A and B are shown apart, each in its own frame.
Chain A
Amino acid sequence: MFKLDRRHFLASTASVAFLSALPNFTFATGSKTLRVAIGAETGNLDLLQNVSTLSSYTVVFDSLIQYGQGGALEPGLATTWKVADDGKSISFDLREGVTFSDGTGWDADAAEWNLKRWMGVVDFSWIGISAAYDSIVKDAPNKITIKLKQAVPVALLELTIVRPVRMLSPKAVGADGKQTAPIGTGPWIVEKYSSTETVLVRNDKYWGEKPAFSRMELKVVPDELARANALRAGELDVIGGDWVAPLSPRRAKALAADGMMVVAEPGTATTILGFSPKSAVMQDKAVRQAIFTGIDRAAVATVLFEGYADPTIDIFPTTVPTAGARKPVPVRDVAAAQAALTAGGWSGGGSGWTKNGKALEIDFLISEESFPGSRRIAEIIQGMLTEVGLKVNISSVDNATMHERRPAFKYDLTFFATYGAPYDPHGSLGASFETAADTGPDGKIYIADALDALIAKALETGGDARADAMQKVYDWLYDNVAACPLVVTKRLWAVNPKVKGFSLPATDYDLPFKGISLG
């Protein structure tokens, strides 16, 4: 039988203490590793499949053009580009001396091979430049021209999105043409990935400014509180980003109080309350107007977002291009909301409204799975609308039901969000407001024949006239109270103080590493 005497006890305790300290020693010797939280595993980063999370593509794969801070178009694998006067061809001068991380050279052949994997392919017709694709001409070993059937004003912006536009090594596919490995020209190379982490090592052949540290570990931590505690404990260096590992305003505030560096900058996506265009109640403009006027957006931003959100009534924030002229956010006006209902033929007051003997009741569809935190926003709105006399019934459903009911417009009210940079404004307008676009389970914020015509016109208009055409869309949406924008949430990240030089990446689809040094 095992006997635990004092000597054995002390030896065991010392061993345990040593083993528990090992992670710290590892941290000390591996200080050139940046550990970033991700909410879900990265997947295999297949550029043509919609299965991997969006946050990790941009560090491995480069695109011809990059989306810079504030929406500026910056050189990527193309150093310069020129759009023909008629908009039907775009020429690119390709960056020379670039190789993929497997040693394959980057040239016009590689560019053509990559572009032809998705341009003109039906599955990618949601991208304007793909739908309009005609041909590719190799003008020189490092120069190509994309020919289009018609002009696509947002073609250059579309070349900055996460996938499928980025460039894969032509050798990283199997005989069936399917991607076999994530081999790009980007600053990082995938060393390994699993369901718990993805390890990236610096690409020393990278053509741009190389990262100041050699290794980046993307740790899968699905729970937000666990992420925050790991940051406090020094087990993670960076958390945040809507598409990376979302950080809630409340948690950000708590982390700031604990000495973590919290970085908050104006966001690019708008949270919108959508009115079902097929709902009998919501087809009544007076009801939409009452809801629009009866919500205190400033209170929503302050109470639920701790000030890390800006109240708005515009569809897009100014952080995306051609977002249109700003409209002042109105102060909540219960009397005006009730007056709108009265003018619309409703009778009643604070205790309820009726029209033709039918009581006014609103079905508010929400899903915590689809949109975490939506129930609390719905509750505050329910409270505000109750004061107007609107009876709001919140239906909390699972993700599958939400995906069934939203495309079929089986609701009166529900939440939407615009895509944000680099997809907007053309992405959200084309997908969420155009009747013909297939958005699958995501549904539409609003559709109408008159709106379709305006959007089609705006999306095909380029040059100086584009802003005016877009403004007409925004004005129509506002005049018809077609949607109820609420807030633009700020982009939130929290960083361990030992991380120096942190700055927000250009979009929340990007991982932060540029400018970062580890102390």
Chain B
Amino acid sequence: MQIGKLPWAILAPAIIFVLIGVFAPLLMTHDTAHQDYGALLQGPSLSHWLGTDYLGRDMWSRIIGGARTSLVAMVFVLAAALFMGVVIGSLAGYIGGATELVLISAIDIMLALPSLIIALALIGVFSGENFAWISDYWKMILALTVAWWANYARMSRAVVVSELQQPYIEAARVMGASHLWIFTRHILPHVLGLVVVYASADAGALVLAIATLSFLGLGVAPPTPEWGQMLVDGMSYIEEYPSLVIIPGFALTLVVVSFNLMGEAFALQKVPRAVRGNFLRKRKAERAGEEIARASVEAHP
């Protein structure tokens, strides 16, 4: 993949989101939890670039802080779900037999239920006293991970099963390569190549799921800023101060759409494209040159 050929217009918003998340502490102008009852529900100003919320907290800083909250949660969930999905799916595909039947059944059961419903149920379970030592934030990450891995597992298994049919795998076996060698050197790169592309598109859905859980009051605990929570807080003020809803809503929409487009762009990069435009003209010219050269050789053997 050449860097110059990447769809930068599509990648830029997602990359900006990641950069904002990483450098959030440098970008925030105020403490996100600081309440100022003398500056409630103010409009944009030099001291508060996006205004303040109902507790006088700086909206700009909370939006930036919210990006970091979503980014960290998203990265953890994606990494953990990818790991779980790839391991379980690959094991199912590689070992086969009864193991595959059991694992694929578990995958199917997980896929039969909407991920968000599973996450909600798990958060309900984690609300019990036995899990009191885990913070709400990590409960959410854990619940989403458990709810999210099945798709990656199914894809991983499909790739493994497909690759195992290839002659080069047979050749590696004949040459005495171990299972671990075959899996890590020959199969895993193919699995990751597909699953990571899918995950990049899934990132947007995850940010949305994190916001949804917070919107329902089951995600990030106050005073940590989170876009879904900012949305639900702003709902009470939507008639007089719609910016409290519009600003986090816009940020959320931008990130979700850009990750979706990015995932789609990555996926399209893997699909052979029809030859057209300049490339087609260039190929035609090259072909014509080859024909002339061949004709010349045939004419003067």
Contacts and interface: CB of A to CB of B under 8 A. Distances in A.
B222 interface: yes
Contacts of A251: 236, 239
7 contacts: A254-B239, A378-B222, A379-B222, A379-B223, A382-B222, A395-B127, A395-B132
Interface stretch (B32-40, B87-95, B160-168, B186-194): B32-40
A-B residue pairs, 9 tightest by C-beta? A401-B127, A383-B35, A368-B217, A379-B222, A397-B127, A254-B239, A396-B217, A394-B222, A394-B221
B252 interface: no
Contacts of A375: 217, 222
A280 to B, nearest CB: 14
A379 B32 CA distance: 12
A250 B237 contact: yes
A386 to B, nearest CB: 7
Interface string B202-245: 00000000000000011001110000000001011111100000
Given A250-B236, A400-B124, A401-B128, A382 B223 contact: yes
A149 interface: no
B16 interface: no
Nearest to B56: A303
B238 A225 contact: yes
Interface in A370-389: 373, 375-376, 378-380, 382-383, 386
A405 interface: yes
A276 to B, nearest CB: 13
A393 interface: yes
Task: Select the residue from A251, A303, A363, A383 with max chain B CB neighbours within 10 A.
Answer: A383
A404 B135 CA distance: 19
Contacts of A400: 124
A398 B119 CA distance: 13
Contacts of B55: 303, 376, 379-380, 383
A239 to B, nearest CB: 15
A415 to B, nearest CB: 14
A254 B237 CA distance: 9
Contacts of B128: 401, 404
Nearest to A408: B129
A248 interface: yes
B83 interface: no
Contacts of B100: none
A337 B222 CA distance: 23
Nearest to A299: B37
Task: Select the residue from A378, A396, A405 with max chain B CB neighbours within 10 A.
Answer: A396
Nearest to B129: A410
A396 B218 contact: yes
Interface of A: 225, 248, 250-251, 254, 299, 302-304, 363, 367-369, 373, 375-376, 378-380, 382-383, 386, 393-398, 400-401, 404-405, 410
Contacts of B40: 303
Contact of B37 (A303, A368, A373): A303
Contacts of B76: none
Contact of A303 (B54, B238, B239): B54
Contacts of B233: 376
Contact of A383 (B33, B129, B132, B135): B33
B264 interface: no
A309 B290 CA distance: 88
A444 B128 CA distance: 20
Interface string B117-139: 00000001001110010011000
A375 B235 CA distance: 14
Give the bracket for the number of chain B residues in contact with chain A.
20 to 34
Contacts of A363: 132
Contacts of A225: 235, 238-239
Given A379-B55, A400-B124, 20 more contacts: A254-B240, A302-B37, A303-B55, A363-B132, A375-B217, A376-B236, A378-B222, A379-B222, A383-B33, A383-B223, A386-B33, A393-B221, A394-B221, A395-B136, A396-B222, A398-B127, A401-B127, A404-B128, A410-B129, A410-B132
Given A303-B40, A405-B129, A410-B129, A398 B124 contact: yes
A342 B217 CA distance: 35
Interface string B44-73: 000000000011000000000000000000
Contacts of A401: 124, 127-128
Q: Is the interface of B mostly helix, strand, loop or mixed?
A: loop
B251 to A, nearest CB: 20
B236 A380 contact: no
Contacts of B35: 380, 383
Task: Select the residue from A302, A367, A394 with max chain B CB neighbours within 10 A.
Answer: A394
Contact of A393 (B33, B34, B135): B135
A245 B233 CA distance: 20
A419 B40 CA distance: 32
Nearest to B220: A396
Contacts of A248: 236
A273 B217 CA distance: 20
A257 B40 CA distance: 19
Nearest to A369: B217
Contacts of B132: 363, 395, 410
Contacts of A382: 222-223
A162 B54 CA distance: 37
Nearest to A383: B35
Nearest to A404: B128
A449 B250 CA distance: 55
B218 A398 contact: yes
A302 B236 CA distance: 16
B136 A396 contact: yes
Nearest to B123: A398
A375 B216 CA distance: 11
A395 B139 CA distance: 11
Contact of B221 (A250, A368, A395, A410): A395
Contacts of A394: 221-222
A251 B222 CA distance: 24
Contacts of A302: 37
A199 B240 CA distance: 34
Contacts of B127: 395, 397-398, 401
A254 B238 CA distance: 10
Nearest to A384: B35
A248 B236 CA distance: 9
A304 to B, nearest CB: 8
A299 B235 CA distance: 21
A321 to B, nearest CB: 34
A400 B128 CA distance: 10
Contacts of A383: 33-35, 55, 223
Nearest to B233: A376
B232 to A, nearest CB: 9
Nearest to B229: A375
Task: Select the residue from A250, A302, A369 with max chain B CB neighbours within 10 A.
Answer: A250
Nearest to B224: A394
A304 B55 CA distance: 8
B157 to A, nearest CB: 35
Nearest to B55: A380
A412 to B, nearest CB: 11
Contact of A396 (B34, B129, B221): B221
B123 to A, nearest CB: 8
Contacts of A380: 35, 55
Nearest to A393: B221
B242 to A, nearest CB: 12
